[in-house]
């Protein structure tokens, strides 16, 4: 029998130690966490063997927070403090929520994003979502037996910038290192495509609890290229529940009900919907708080009638995505169904009829997104060193600026591949104008009032000139998470006024830090210890990366002096690591990053040259 090797304390066992990476599907109705274990993507269950964590958070009078099944069980008892479907409120203001009158919460209007007044104080949707993420993080740590290096969090493809930013903030608030925000249909395509070695053009039809996405992807030897995406971020399985709920109200001729009774009926409606996926009729029985007995039978035929307009509504984005991709139904090789709501037979029939073929349903529609996210997380963290998987995603909604008269100038059109940057020049309207107000919006319509306002900022210090003489260049950059940053500067004068904005609804770094500090006050570890540990982890990661880069390309790309400079910075960082000073470690990390700047640029050039080597030859031939 071979002897097992044990490494010296303090040294890593292997140069490529397996890092713990997770994929999280933060859903409207429930959330999941998955990881790749022995090459297989698996969903992690709770202690009772349950995979799905209901996305329900209850804030209790004693200051405790209950998440999941127990919170769900309490929702009819304590509807005001039990937040369900919080995802619908992410990055949203009060005026964006259509059915606000039917919801039991005490909402507080706040600039950018609404808040909810609970028994333990005012909570933003970001904080509520962070509670769900914390539970999943703990579940993963327990199950995997170690600290999580990084996480991929999924978002609906049709989420706008505000909703994405809110999701990323929630993950950071939960103490997660966010490797990437990944679009849900793309995640599903990974899990599905890798499982089936699929090639060709596929449609992902993703009807979740509160959001609808459709993405069209081209699969070519491990490359998942999104050609177009569309959807409705306020349409999902919840809407089908509400149709049944309204039907109950009408059939039983009920007067306005208490929050508790409303919640009870909504739960009954959801149960009836789920029952009808397998049966021809569902019996709905319950007793309301004043003793009123409800006993109704809902047939599948009636349910279909009630929801026909909702089903039809999902087809509009499908057509739009096909048009955007300049494709016809006949070009589509298969349709993948994602999201629990796609279990409804009327949805499957409608999709089958539209595409002229049965949709693919062989993976669990509730789990497929988390499974795909875990595969991506595993690759991003560096566990799998293969080049076979690559995701190329797009911006779901056009990004633009307000110009004169409330009109919009589109800067980045929808379905542009990300990351992307675009610049547009603007000029002054009046003589001597020294400032310009810049209003960033997202959406497809021509009028500002029909689009989502993302951020407003002012560019000041433009030298006084005649109207139309100044040239202000506004640059939009969308990163690989689909998040936007905007900068502006005046060109003609050589005076460079420069400002980079983060959209206004997002939390600032300081706010996040404050919230984290507040949450640590309750935790048993103190904030300095955590800051130190984070700095150490980052330092070790950096040292490992630099060592690998030096080994691979140090001899060929660096002069003796350049190499000596980098090695000096490496040794300084190592030195700093021996002392327990987070600030000193951070300083040396920055210095080493600085020292490797030119090296990083040369390595990138080299890999591009290598990739193009074959093409260059062909060009000379032709």
Partner 1 sequence: MLQQNHFALFGLKPAFEIDTARLDQAYRKLQAEVHPDRYATATAQEKLQSLAWATRINEAYQTLKNPLLRARYLLQLHGFEIHEGANTAMPAEFLMQQMEWREAIEDARHTRNLNTLVALNRELEHEMEALKHALGTALDVRGDYASAAEMVCKLRFLEKVRDEIELALEDLEQ
Catalytic positions, please? 25, 87, 184, 206
The distance of closest approach from Cβ of residue 600 to partner 1 in the complex, given in angstroms and rounded to an integer, is: 4
Pick from 151, 379, 448, 569: which binds partner 1 (CB under 8 A)? 379
200 binds partner 1 (CB under 8 A): no
321 binds partner 1 (CB under 8 A): no
583 binds partner 1 (CB under 8 A): no
Pick from 102, 323, 498, 574: which binds partner 1 (CB under 8 A)? 323
The distance of closest approach from Cβ of residue 19 to partner 1 in the complex, given in angstroms and rounded to an integer, is: 8
Instruction: Phi first, then psi: give them for residue 403, nearest 5 degrees.
Output: -115, -170
Handedness of CA 367, 232, 107, 517 (dihedral sign): positive
Return d(Cα 312, Cα 309) in angstroms, integer: 5
What's the CA angle centered on 262, arms 111 and 84, to 5 degrees? 45
Question: Which CB, 32 or 179, lies closer to partner 1?
Answer: 179
Question: Which CB, 40 or 601, lies closer to partner 1?
Answer: 601
524 binds partner 1 (CB under 8 A): no
3-state SS of 409-422 is: EEEECCCCECCEEE
Question: Which CB, 386 or 561, lies closer to partner 1?
Answer: 386
Pick from 42, 60, 223, 501: which binds partner 1 (CB under 8 A)? 223
Return d(Cα 438, Cα 480) in angstroms, integer: 24
227 touches 202 (CB < 8 A): no
Alpha helices in 179-299 (DSSP H): 184-196, 237-251, 259-276
The distance of closest approach from Cβ of residue 230 to partner 1 in the complex, given in angstroms and rounded to an integer, is: 10
Question: Which CB, 89 or 599, lies closer to partner 1?
Answer: 599
577 binds partner 1 (CB under 8 A): no
Return d(Cα 478, Cα 397) in angstroms, integer: 12
Pick from 12, 362, 508, 607: which binds partner 1 (CB under 8 A)? 607
- Please report, for residues 45, 52, 139, 552, the alpha-carbon distance to residue 48 in angstroms, rounded to integers and kept in the order given: 7, 11, 12, 47
552 binds partner 1 (CB under 8 A): no
622 binds partner 1 (CB under 8 A): yes
- Name the burial class of residue 517, with classes exposed (0-12), middle (13-18) and buried (19+) by CB atoms within 10 angstroms of its CB: exposed
The distance of closest approach from Cβ of residue 253 to partner 1 in the complex, given in angstroms and rounded to an integer, is: 32
Pick from 61, 352, 421, 467: which binds partner 1 (CB under 8 A)? 421
618 binds partner 1 (CB under 8 A): yes
Instruction: Write down the number of H helices and E strands in the chain.
Output: 15, 27
473 binds partner 1 (CB under 8 A): no
179 binds partner 1 (CB under 8 A): yes
Comparing CA positions, the residue from 363, 480, 490 lying closest to residue 427 is 490
Question: Which CB, 124 or 596, lies closer to partner 1?
Answer: 596
392 binds partner 1 (CB under 8 A): yes
The distance of closest approach from Cβ of residue 423 to partner 1 in the complex, given in angstroms and rounded to an integer, is: 11
399 touches 442 (CB < 8 A): yes
**17 to 76, contacts with partner 1 by CB under 8 A?**
none
Q: Which stretch binds partner 1 (CB under 8 A): 99-107, 362-370, 449-457, 600-608?
A: 600-608
Question: Which CB, 412 or 582, lies closer to partner 1?
Answer: 412
Pick from 276, 546, 550, 576: which binds partner 1 (CB under 8 A)? 546
- Contacting residues for 437 by C-beta, under 8 A, at least 6 apart: 456, 457, 458
Handedness of CA 314, 317, 319, 325 (dihedral sign): negative
Question: Which CB, 298 or 379, lies closer to partner 1?
Answer: 379
Sheet of 56-59: strand order equals 65-67, 56-59, 82-84
The distance of closest approach from Cβ of residue 541 to partner 1 in the complex, given in angstroms and rounded to an integer, is: 6
Q: Are strands 452-459 and 436-442 parallel, antiparallel or unpaired?
A: antiparallel
Return d(Cα 164, Cα 159) in angstroms, integer: 6
Name the residue with tokens 């962070």: 130
Question: Which CB, 61 or 421, lies closer to partner 1?
Answer: 421
Q: Which stretch binds partner 1 (CB under 8 A): 136-144, 316-324, 521-529, 571-579?
A: 316-324
**107 to 166, contacts with partner 1 by CB under 8 A?**
150
The distance of closest approach from Cβ of residue 535 to partner 1 in the complex, given in angstroms and rounded to an integer, is: 14
Output 613-616 pairs: Cβ under 8 A, ≥24 positions apart: none
610 binds partner 1 (CB under 8 A): yes
Burial 168-194 (b: 16+ CB within 10 A, else e): bbbbbbbbbbbbbbbbbbbbbbbbbbb
381 binds partner 1 (CB under 8 A): yes
What the block records as the tokens of 521 is 């006050």
The distance of closest approach from Cβ of residue 604 to partner 1 in the complex, given in angstroms and rounded to an integer, is: 5
Residues found near partner 1 in the complex (CB under 8 A)? 150, 179-180, 220, 223, 225, 315-316, 319-320, 323, 376, 379-382, 387, 390-392, 416-422, 477, 479-480, 541-542, 545-546, 592-594, 596-597, 599-601, 603-605, 607-612, 614-616, 618-619, 622
């Amino acid at each position: 029998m071979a002897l097992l090797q044990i490494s010296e304390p303090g040294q890593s066992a292997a140069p490529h130690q397996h890092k713990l990476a997770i994929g999280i599907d933060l859903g409207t109705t429930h959330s999941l966490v998955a990881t790749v274990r022995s090459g297989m993507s698996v969903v992690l269950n709770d202690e009772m063997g349950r995979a799905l964590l209901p996305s329900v958070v209850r804030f209790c009078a004693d200051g405790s927070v209950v998440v999941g099944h127990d919170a769900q069980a309490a929702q009819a008892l304590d509807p005001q403090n039990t937040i369900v479907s919080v995802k619908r409120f992410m990055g949203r203001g009060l005026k964006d929520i259509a059915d606000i009158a039917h919801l039991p919460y005490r909402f507080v209007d706040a600039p950018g994003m609404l808040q909810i007044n609970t028994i333990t104080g005012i909570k933003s949707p970001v904080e509520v979502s962070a509670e769900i993420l914390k539970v999943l993080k703990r579940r993963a740590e327990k199950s995997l037996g170690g600290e999580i290096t990084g996480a991929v969090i999924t978002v609906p493809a049709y989420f706008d910038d505000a909703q994405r930013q809110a999701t990323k903030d929630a993950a950071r608030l939960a103490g997660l290192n966010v490797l990437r925000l990944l679009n849900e249909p793309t995640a599903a395509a990974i899990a599905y495509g890798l499982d089936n070695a699929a090639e060709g053009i596929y449609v992902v039809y993703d009807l979740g609890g509160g959001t609808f996405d459709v993405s069209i992807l081209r699969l070519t030897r491990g490359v998942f290229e999104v050609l177009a995406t569309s959807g409705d971020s306020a349409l999902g399985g919840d809407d089908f529940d509400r149709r049944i709920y309204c039907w109950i109200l009408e059939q039983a001729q009920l007067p306005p009900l208490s929050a508790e009774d409303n919640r009870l009926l909504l739960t009954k409606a959801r149960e009836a919907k789920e029952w009808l996926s397998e049966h021809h009729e569902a019996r709905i029985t319950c007793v309301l708080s004043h003793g009123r007995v409800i006993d109704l039978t809902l047939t599948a035929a009636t349910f279909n009638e009630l929801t026909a307009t909702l089903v039809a509504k999902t087809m509009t984005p499908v057509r739009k995505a096909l048009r955007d991709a300049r494709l016809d139904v006949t070009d589509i090789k298969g349709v993948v169904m994602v999201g629990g709501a796609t279990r409804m037979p009327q949805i499957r029939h409608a999709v089958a009829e539209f595409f002229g073929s049965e949709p693919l349903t062989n993976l669990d529609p509730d789990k497929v997104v988390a499974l795909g996210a875990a595969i991506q997380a595993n690759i991003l963290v560096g566990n799998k060193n293969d080049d076979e998987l690559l995701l190329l995603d797009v911006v779901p909604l056009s990004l633009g600026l307000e110009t004169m008269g409330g009109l919009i100038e589109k800067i980045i059109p929808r379905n542009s591949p990300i990351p992307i940057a675009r610049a547009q020049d603007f000029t002054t309207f009046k003589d001597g104008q020294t400032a310009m107000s810049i209003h960033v919006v997202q959406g497809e319509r021509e009028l500002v009032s029909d689009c989502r306002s993302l951020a407003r900022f002012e560019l000041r210090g433009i030298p006084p000139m005649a109207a139309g003489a100044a040239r202000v260049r506004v640059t939009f950059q969308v990163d690989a998470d689909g998040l936007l940053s905007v900068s502006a500067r005046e060109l003609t004068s050589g005076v460079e006024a420069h400002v980079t904005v983060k959209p206004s609804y997002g939390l600032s770094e300081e706010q996040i830090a404050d919230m984290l500090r507040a949450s640590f006050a309750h935790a048993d570890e103190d904030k300095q210890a955590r800051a130190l540990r984070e700095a150490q982890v980052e330092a070790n990661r950096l040292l490992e990366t630099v060592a690998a880069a030096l080994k691979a390309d140090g001899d060929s790309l660096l002069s003796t002096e350049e190499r000596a400079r980098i090695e000096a910075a490496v040794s300084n960082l190592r030195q700093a690591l021996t002392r327990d000073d987070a600030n000193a470690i951070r300083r040396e990390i920055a210095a080493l990053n600085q020292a490797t700047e030119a090296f990083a640029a040369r390595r990138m050039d080299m890999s591009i040259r290598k990739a193009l080597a074959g093409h260059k030859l062909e060009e000379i031939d032709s």
